[in-house]
Amino acid sequence: MAIAIALIIVFTGKYRIHAFLVLLAAAYFVGIFSGLGLSKTVDAIAAGFGGTLKSIGIVIAAGTIIGYILEKSGGALSMAEAVLNVIGKKRVPLAMSIIGYIVSIPVFCDSGFVILSPLNRALSKRAGISLSVTAIALSTGLYATHTLVPPTPGPIAAAANVGADLGLVILLGLIASIPAALAGLYYATKFGRRIHIEPETEETYEDLIKRYGTLPPAKWAFAPLIIPIILIVLKSIADFPAHPFGTGTAKDFFDFIGNPITALLLGVVIAFKLAPKLDEEIYGTKGWVGEGLKNAAIIILITGAGGSFGYVLRQTGIGNYIGTTLSSYHMGLVLPFIIAALLKTAQGSSTVALITTSALLSPMLPALGLATPYGKALTVLAIGAGSMVVSHANDSYFWVVTQFSDMNVTQGYRLQTIATFVEGIIAEIVILIMGAVLL
């Protein structure tokens, strides 16, 4: 398994081979050389791939469609407008952190930063603030929910790999992600101001709003995101041992409507309300839905390959052996964090780190004492915290943030890299505190 992890890091990080192929190759390698047998290895890979996507393939696809519609319709900017109206247009760093925090729940942090970058520049210019401050506030706000709060695909995939309840992951993820985002905001305001970057822009804030034309109402922009999350959480509450909604029709209803598949598909239907005109350009093969599905396909395939790798590890017994061995060190929730941080730092992608680490740890959870519902949910969050540490030159997000914020590489390391390190450490500390209370 150690060799397999090293190969994953080398081939995805150094040679930039697609994670889908690398994870499948690692699954074959572990299965064959651990003595599982040729036929059983292939069977385990197929079973792991199908078993993982059975529960979350549709969820990832639906969540990606929602994110794409929010991006193209101006819904993300409408949410930003609503936040600015509450926070005030002068408190730009705080506003950008909150906006990023919200937008990145359904939208990838890379895309979210690109979408919000013109707004960030315009507001920074008007407030006379260095772009370095607002860019890192936005970047870390986006990063907090990108790695910790479903329905972002990475946390969803990790929850599926370890068998965690998605509603519980959302609830605890929201708790852990707020201090993480605040830590990023503090770093941005405290240290970002030491590097002055003039926010050059050809568009004022007013020009930017006009360019989008009529923005969709904020309530409809928030609805495709908030309603599915509420429904998923209600399902988790309905499944509590105390049965707060009883054991009859009410519970069955919440189990149905709050199933992540149903909830996210309902979110897609609500998101159609954001479209200026519902026609083939929206729901067609080459429309917003079609483009969203293209984006989802990559994540779905990587997630399935990660499921194959994890299932092979379970079948070989390697995971159980290592888990039993490591349990004597009493590392608990520190182990998921360390493995994810090493993978993230070595190969660059937070999503790959989330998927790979969760696949590795899934068979070890009973031996590590993390097989309870809270243990599984906190394991997902510890992996998410590790997948923040750190964003540097092998991470596409590093280049998005630096290039769209006029930072050179040295400034990027001083700002983006250290900020994500601080953010990940704070998130892990909060998760360890929750673990001390809940486990």
- pLDDT of 209 higher than 80: no
Q: How long is the chain? A: 439
Taking residues 225-230, what's their average pLDDT?
A: 94
CB-side neighbour CA atoms (13 Å) of 359: 35
Query: 58 versus 209: which is more confidently predicted?
Result: 58
Alpha-carbon span 312 to 52, nearest angstrom: 13
Instruction: Name the residue type at position 52.
Output: T
pLDDT at 102: 94
Task: Please report which confidence band the pLDDT of residue 1 belongs to, taking 50, 70 and 90 as the band edges.
Answer: confident
The pTM assigned to this predicted structure is 0.90
pLDDT at 325: 82
Query: Alpha carbon of 372 to those of 92, 164, 300, 429, 438: distances in Å?
Result: 41, 9, 26, 20, 10
Q: Please report, rounded to a whole number, the percentage of residues in the chain having pLDDT higher than 70.
A: 100
**Which of 48-62, 114-128, 167-181, 194-208 is least confident?**
194-208
pLDDT band at 143 (very low <50, low <70, confident <90, very high): very high
Given a cut of 80, is residue 319 above it in pLDDT?
no
**Is 255:239 a contact under the CB 8 Å cutoff?**
yes
pLDDT of the residue at 81: 86
Task: Say yes or no to pLDDT of 71 above 90.
Answer: no
- Tens of pLDDT, residue by residue over 95-132, are 999 999 999 998 889 988 988 998 899 889 888 999 99
Hunting for tokens 């989802």 — which residue is that?
Answer: 296
Going by C-alpha positions, the residue among 138, 187, 148 that lies closest to residue 418 is 187
Q: Is the pLDDT of residue 243 over 90?
A: no
| CA 41 from centre of chain | 30
pLDDT, residue 129, reads 92
The pLDDT of residue 428 is: 98
Looking at residue 214, what is its pLDDT?
80
- Angle (nearest 5°) at CA 187 between 218 and 102: 20
270 pLDDT tier (thresholds 50, 70, 90) = very high
- pLDDT score, position 111: 87
Instruction: Say what the pLDDT of residue 201 is.
Output: 80
Tell me the C-alpha to C-alpha distance, in Å, between residue 256 and each of 216, 233, 234. Answer: 29, 12, 11
User: Do the Cβ atoms of 423 and 143 come closer than 8 Å?
Assistant: yes
pLDDT at 169 over 90: yes
Region 373-383: mean pLDDT is 97
Does position 211 have pLDDT exceeding 80, yes or no? no
Residue 74 has pLDDT above 90, yes or no: no
Q: Which of 285-289, 308-312, 419-423 has the highest mean pLDDT?
A: 419-423
Query: What is the Cα–Cα distance from 49 to 207, expressed in whole angstroms?
Result: 48
95-99, 216-220, 328-332: which has the minimum mean pLDDT?
328-332
**Residue-averaged pLDDT of the chain:** 92
